[in-house]
Amino acid sequence: MANRRTLENEAAQSTTALGPMIGLAREDFIGAIALLLRETASDPARSMKHARSMGEDMIKIMTGKSDLAPDPKDKRFKDPAWQYNPFFRAGAQYYLAVQKGMANWLNDLDLDELERDRANFISNIIIDSLAPTNTLAGNPTAQKRVIDSGGMSLVKGLKNAYDDILHNKGMVSQVDKRPFKLGENIATSKGSVVLRTEMMELVHYAPTTDEVYAIPQLTIPPQINKMYINDLSPDKSVVKWQLDNGIQTFVISWRNPSKDQGIWGMAEYIRSCREAMDAVAAITGSRKVNVSAGCSGGQTAAILASKLASDKQTSLGALTLMVCVLHPKQNDIEAGSLVSENGMQLARRRAAKQGVIEGDSLARGFAWLRPNDLIWNYVINNYLLGEDPPAFDVLFWNADATNLSASLMGDFLTIFETLAFTKKGEVEMADHKIDLTKVTSDLFILGGVTDHITPWRACYRSTQLFGSKDVTFVLSQAGHMQAILNPPGNPKAKFFKSKKPGLPPADVDDWLAGTEEVAGSWWPYWIEWLQARSGKKVAAPEAVGNATFKPLDPAPGRYVLEEH
């Protein structure tokens, strides 16, 4: 059970997200490896020194005199056999000697900071793949399982591997999808699609209270995963939380683009967002529409806000941005060191040729950036131990990835390359020049303490980009998706908020020094913030939609079921 929870938690913190990694090309990996080989060849004496040092470690291991031991926090070596069995202890020490030798060698190379980051990143991927725990011969836990199960764990592991070859394009499965069915135990909140276009569906959720706040909320989801992350399960549903607190709730459901729809770029997505806002306003009778968005949906919402301000439109109410980076820096994420200008151009051209980047292809590339958490853990669990992958709702959603249109990918890369959100009217996109200083909406911005996809310090930079006079930043004690899906009831939940009112300071450490820790979920704090910006209470509508926007398919709609 503990191992199952570990798999769930680690994988859930590594859910696929758009970022500079979409601009990674295989040449970037090859170039980083070539750099290591070139540096090795440039100074044979240095290489011989490290080879000799590693050889000395090997001799100590063979003679039983080595004191190399795994880090107590390394879960791969928890089995007592690694400590008490001479064969396994030596196997672990050989691996640790290679790990130590590689680290010492890299530290001795003549590299600049970026090259060193690239070298360390690539070497960690290589070293992780060599861990003895990844093989049956080197994994005592798996060997015990074979004996205890009478060999059935091997049979089940082979079946799991065969199923992955047939049904998962050879990629090890992270989730058992069988227990989940949309509309039954996933995405169960009541509502209907009230607008369908070629690009999106607009879902209007049915009120659960007698009275609702007059100003509605529209959620703009990321374009790379499906919208039902907002209504994952009854106990982890942002949609249900909003409804139960009187918020009129609407969510966009993006269509999964096919190759022919690879021309959909940011301009088309912004037009769809405006179309959705107009429909929400018409249905609710509200001049204002509050907007919430996360990850790449947050970048989309920021451009929408800029576009509305440019057009002198005042329909945008309060804006919530969750785990979203608008001011990226190359060293924000581990894989950022591999991104190069040439690699991004190659990635653009390949995507344009294909029309779309397939969702499973993006997920596969993402997994190999964190192979210990997203590949080798599951090789051990599914194949060596013969266990099913965990049946976990967040991972079910994460595995339900969508394609990314080539044009939109190009736009996201342009945002990254030009730092478009940090400029004032210099970068043109979606038929206007982006300028967030013209956006004056009240802002709520969320980061996650252990988020390595959109690191919280990078999320914090967004507090300095807008022209808003009311900005709230909250730090959730969780990783990427758990930072959002953090409902009341979790005894371990906590968040950090500023102790004093006013705009967040420019220096993130100054903000951190002025925070207080609050036990529990951040959802109640956020909903109070949102309610205060949602107008007066009115009688809840008796039905979703209206005469113009009539109910179509029940929530979560038709587009979440489409696959390409």
List, for residues 222-269, the tens digit of each pLDDT value: 998 899 999 999 989 999 999 999 999 999 999 999 988 989 999 999
Q: Which residue did the predictor score with more confidence, 562 or 211?
A: 211
Residue at 406 is within a domain: yes
pLDDT at 104: 85
Kindly state the percentage of the chain with pLDDT values over 70.
90
Together in a domain, 311 and 231: yes
pLDDT at 91: 92
Residue at 562 is within a domain: no
At 460, list the tokens.
């914090």
Residue at 14 is within a domain: no
Tally of structural domains, the chain: 2
| Model confidence at 145: pLDDT above 90 | yes
pLDDT at 319: 98
User: Cα 263 vs. chain centroid, distance in angstroms?
Assistant: 24
Q: Which residue did the predictor score with more confidence, 351 or 300?
A: 300
Could you list the residue range(s) of the whole structural domain that residue 328 is in?
Answer: 192-356+401-548
| Model confidence at 194: pLDDT above 60 | yes
Q: Tell me what the mean pLDDT of segment 47-56 comes to.
A: 80
Residue 420 near residue 437 (C-beta atoms within 8 A) = no
375 pLDDT band, cuts 50/70/90, is confident
At 527, list the tokens.
């909903």
Together in a domain, 274 and 409: yes
pLDDT at 225: 84
pLDDT at 491: 86
| Model confidence at 470: pLDDT above 60 | yes
Residue 141 near residue 79 (C-beta atoms within 8 A) = yes
Q: Where are the beta strands (DSSP E) in 65-155?
A: none
SS (H, E, C) 443-511: EEEEEECCCCCCCHHHHHHHHHCCCCCCEEEEEECCCHHHHHCCCCCCCCCEEEEECCCCCCCCCHHHH
Together in a domain, 491 and 343: yes
Residue at a domain's end among 121, 148, 175: 148
pLDDT at 111: 75
Q: For 289-348, what is each residue's pLDDT tens digit?
A: 999 999 899 999 999 999 999 999 999 999 999 999 999 887 766 666 666 676 677 777
pLDDT at 6: 59
Which of 68-72, 271-275, 371-375, 465-469 is predicted with the least confidence, judged by mean pLDDT? 371-375
Residue at 243 is within a domain: yes
| Model confidence at 44: pLDDT above 90 | no
Q: CA 117 to CA 22: how far, in whole Å?
A: 19
Together in a domain, 137 and 227: no
Together in a domain, 217 and 341: yes
pLDDT at 78: 93
322 Cβ neighbours under 8 A, 6+ residues apart: 292, 293, 294, 295, 298, 445, 446, 483, 484
Residue at 110 is within a domain: yes
16 pLDDT band, cuts 50/70/90, is low
Residue at 367 is within a domain: no
Together in a domain, 96 and 240: no
- Which of 115-119, 159-163, 476-480 reaches the highest mean pLDDT? 159-163
Q: CA 243 to CA 438: how far, in whole Å?
A: 31
23 pLDDT band, cuts 50/70/90, is low
Q: 377, 488, 400: which is closest to 9 by C-alpha?
A: 377
Together in a domain, 133 and 197: no
Q: Tell me what the mean pLDDT of segment 185-214 comes to.
A: 97
49 pLDDT band, cuts 50/70/90, is confident
355 pLDDT band, cuts 50/70/90, is confident
Together in a domain, 411 and 535: yes
pLDDT at 106: 81
Residue at 519 is within a domain: yes
- Which active-site residues does the annotation give? 295
Burial pattern 459-482, b for ≥16 Cβ within 10 A else e, equals bbbbbbbbebebbbbbbbbbbbbb
Together in a domain, 228 and 327: yes
Residue at 482 is within a domain: yes
Together in a domain, 100 and 246: no
143 Cβ neighbours under 8 A, 6+ residues apart: 136
pLDDT at 140: 96
Together in a domain, 47 and 106: yes
Q: Tell me what the mean pLDDT of segment 48-56 comes to.
A: 81
Q: Which residue did the predictor score with more confidence, 238 or 125?
A: 238
| Model confidence at 126: pLDDT above 90 | no
Helix axes 140-148, 152-167, angle to 10 degrees: 110
How many other C-beta atoms lie within 10 A of the C-beta of residue 102?
20
| Model confidence at 26: pLDDT above 70 | no
Together in a domain, 323 and 450: yes
pLDDT at 20: 45
Q: Calculate the average pLDDT of the chain.
A: 88
| Model confidence at 350: pLDDT above 80 | no
Q: For 481-508, what is each residue's pLDDT tens digit?
A: 888 888 998 888 999 999 988 899 999 9
